[in-house]
Structure 1
Amino acid sequence: MKKNLLALLTLTVSLSYAQQKQPDLFQRYRPILEKGTLAQKDSLANVLFSNAKNFKTEEEYRSTINILRALANEDKMEALSSIAKKKYPKGSLTRDAYITDVFYNAEGSAAKEKAYREVTKKWPVKNFPEQELTYDYLLANLAGTLAKEGKSTEAVTYLGQMQERFWRGNGYLPVGQTLLAAGDTTAAAPLLKTAMDDAYYYISLPEAEKDNKARFASMGYASSMSSYVGILVNRGSYAEALDLIEKAMTVAPAQADGLATVYYKSLMGTGRKLEAYNVLTKLYAKGQFNVEDDLKQLYAELNGSMRGYERFNATLKQELVESIQKHIKEMETYKVAPSFELLNLKGEKVSLASLKGKVVVLDFWATWCQPCIRSFPGMQAAQAEYKDDADVQFLFINTWERDKEYKKNVVSFIEKHNYPFEVLYDDQKDPQTGQVMAGKFGVQGIPAKFIIDAEGNIRYFLTGSTPNVDYIKLEMKELIEAAKKPYKAPSAS
Structure 2
Amino acid sequence: MRKILIVALALSASLGYGQQKEMDKYEQYRPILENGSKIQKDSLANELLKRAKTTKNESELEFANNFLYRLGHQDSADSLRSVIAKKFPKSVTARGVYIQDVFYKQEDAKAKEKSYTHLIKNWPVDKSASDNVDYDYVIASVAKSFADEGNKERALYYLDQMNERFWRAQGYIPVATKLLEQGDTVAAIPLIQKAVEDAEYYINLPKEQKDNKAGFAALGYPGYVSQLAEIYDAQGKQTEALQLIERAIALAPEQAARFSSSYFKGLEAADRKLEALQQLELIYRQGEFAHKDKMTELYTTLNGSVKGLAAYFSRLDQEVVKGIRDHIKEMETFKPAPAFELLNMSGEKVSLANLKGKVLVLDFWATWCQPCIRSFPGMQAAQEMYKDDEDVQFLFINTWERDKNYKDKVAAFIEKNKYPFEVLFDDQKDEETGEIMAGKYGVQGIPAKFIIDKEGNIRYFLTGSSPNVDYIKMEMKELIETAKKPHKG
TM-score, normalised to structure 1's length? 0.90
What is the CA distance between 1:125 and its match in structure 2? Answer: 2.0
1:135–1:343 Cα change, 3 Å: same
1:58–1:419 Cα change, 3 Å: farther
Deviations 1:136-194 (CA, angstroms, capped at 9, x unpaired): 11112232333344443332222121121111112212332343345432222111111
> What secondary structure sits across from 1:393 in the alignment?
strand
In 2, distance between residues paired with 1:311 and 1:152?
53
What is the CA distance between 1:107 and its match in structure 2? Answer: 3.0
Does 1:58 find its partner at 2:45? no
Q: Which amino acid in 2 is paired with 1:392?
A: V
Aligned-pair Cα RMSD in Å: 2.2
Residue 142 of structure 2: aligned partner: 142
What is the CA distance between 1:44 and its match in structure 2? Answer: 1.1
Q: Which amino acid in 2 is paired with 1:61?
A: L
| Kept after mapping to 2: 8 A contact 1:344/1:423 | yes
Q: Which amino acid in 1 is paired with 2:460?
A: Y
In 2, distance between residues paired with 1:31 and 1:407?
34
1:258–1:174 Cα change, 3 Å: farther
| Kept after mapping to 1: 8 A contact 2:359/2:451 | yes
Q: Which runs of 5+ in 1 are unaligned?
A: 1-17
Q: Which amino acid in 2 is paired with 1:48?
A: L
Does 1:43 find its partner at 2:43? yes
Q: Which runs of 5+ in 2 are unaligned?
A: 1-17
1:37–1:337 Cα change, 3 Å: same
| Kept after mapping to 2: 8 A contact 1:177/1:227 | no
Deviations 1:23-61 (CA, angstroms, capped at 9, x unpaired): 433322122222322222221111111111343332221
Deviations 1:437-493 (CA, angstroms, capped at 9, x unpaired): 11111222222110011121111111122222211111111101111112111xxxx
Q: Which amino acid in 1 is paired with 2:83?
A: I
> What secondary structure sits across from 1:56 in the alignment?
coil
| Kept after mapping to 1: 8 A contact 2:452/2:459 | yes
> What secondary structure sits across from 1:163 in the alignment?
coil
In 2, distance between residues paired with 1:126 and 1:282?
47
In 2, distance between residues paired with 1:388 and 1:23?
55
Does 1:316 find its partner at 2:316? yes
Residue 173 of structure 1: aligned partner: 173
1:161–1:417 Cα change, 3 Å: farther
In 2, distance between residues paired with 1:371 and 1:352?
26
1:411–1:313 Cα change, 3 Å: same
> What secondary structure sits across from 1:287 in the alignment?
coil
Residue 248 of structure 2: aligned partner: 248
1:482–1:83 Cα change, 3 Å: same
What is the CA distance between 1:93 and its match in structure 2? Answer: 1.2
Residue 235 of structure 2: aligned partner: 235
Percentage identity across aligned positions?
58
In 2, distance between residues paired with 1:309 and 1:148?
48
In 1, distance between residues paired with 2:443 and 2:481?
24
Residue 258 of structure 1: aligned partner: 258
| Kept after mapping to 1: 8 A contact 2:366/2:399 | yes
> What secondary structure sits across from 1:461 in the alignment?
strand
Q: Which amino acid in 2 is paired with 1:228?
A: L
1:80–1:157 Cα change, 3 Å: same
In 1, distance between residues paired with 2:110 and 2:470?
40
Q: Which amino acid in 1 is paired with 2:226?
A: S
1:146–1:361 Cα change, 3 Å: farther
What is the CA distance between 1:233 and its match in structure 2? Answer: 1.3
Deviations 1:394-418 (CA, angstroms, capped at 9, x unpaired): 1111122233333333233333433
Q: Which amino acid in 2 is paired with 1:442?
A: G
Residue 329 of structure 1: aligned partner: 329
What is the CA distance between 1:128 and its match in structure 2? Answer: 8.5
> Across the two proteins, how many residue pairs are aligned to each other?
472
In 1, distance between residues paired with 2:235 and 2:365?
39
Deviating more after overlay: 477-486 vs 38-47: 38-47
Residue 99 of structure 2: aligned partner: 99
Residue 5 of structure 1: aligned partner: none
In 2, distance between residues paired with 1:419 and 1:341?
22
Q: Which amino acid in 2 is paired with 1:353?
A: A
In 2, distance between residues paired with 1:57 and 1:408?
40
Residue 447 of structure 1: aligned partner: 447
Residue 27 of structure 1: aligned partner: 27
Residue 215 of structure 1: aligned partner: 215
Does 1:191 find its partner at 2:191? yes
| Kept after mapping to 2: 8 A contact 1:448/1:464 | yes
> What secondary structure sits across from 2:105 in the alignment?
coil
Does 1:69 find its partner at 2:69? yes
Q: Which amino acid in 1 is paired with 2:428?
A: Q
| Kept after mapping to 2: 8 A contact 1:236/1:269 | no
| Kept after mapping to 2: 8 A contact 1:35/1:433 | no
| Kept after mapping to 1: 8 A contact 2:82/2:97 | no
Deviating more after overlay: 369-378 vs 232-241: 369-378
What is the CA distance between 1:126 and its match in structure 2? Answer: 4.1
> What secondary structure sits across from 1:289 in the alignment?
coil
Deviations 1:6-37 (CA, angstroms, capped at 9, x unpaired): xxxxxxxxxxxx98644433322122222322
Deviations 1:356-403 (CA, angstroms, capped at 9, x unpaired): 221111111222323222322222222222222222111111122233
In 2, distance between residues paired with 1:274 and 1:245?
17
Does 1:225 find its partner at 2:235? no
| Kept after mapping to 1: 8 A contact 2:143/2:159 | yes
| Kept after mapping to 2: 8 A contact 1:448/1:462 | yes
Does 1:283 find its partner at 2:271? no
The aligned runs of 1:375-454 (5 Å cut-off) are 375-454=375-454
In 2, distance between residues paired with 1:200 and 1:488?
47
In 2, distance between residues paired with 1:233 and 1:45?
57
Q: Which amino acid in 1 is paired with 2:488?
A: K
In 1, distance between residues paired with 2:298 and 2:248?
25
| Kept after mapping to 1: 8 A contact 2:166/2:198 | yes
| Kept after mapping to 1: 8 A contact 2:398/2:423 | yes
Q: Which amino acid in 2 is paired with 1:427?
A: D
In 1, distance between residues paired with 2:336 and 2:120?
52
1:122–1:407 Cα change, 3 Å: farther
Deviating more after overlay: 114-123 vs 68-77: 114-123
1:163–1:454 Cα change, 3 Å: same
Residue 465 of structure 1: aligned partner: 465
In 1, distance between residues paired with 2:197 and 2:488?
51
In 1, distance between residues paired with 2:350 and 2:124?
49
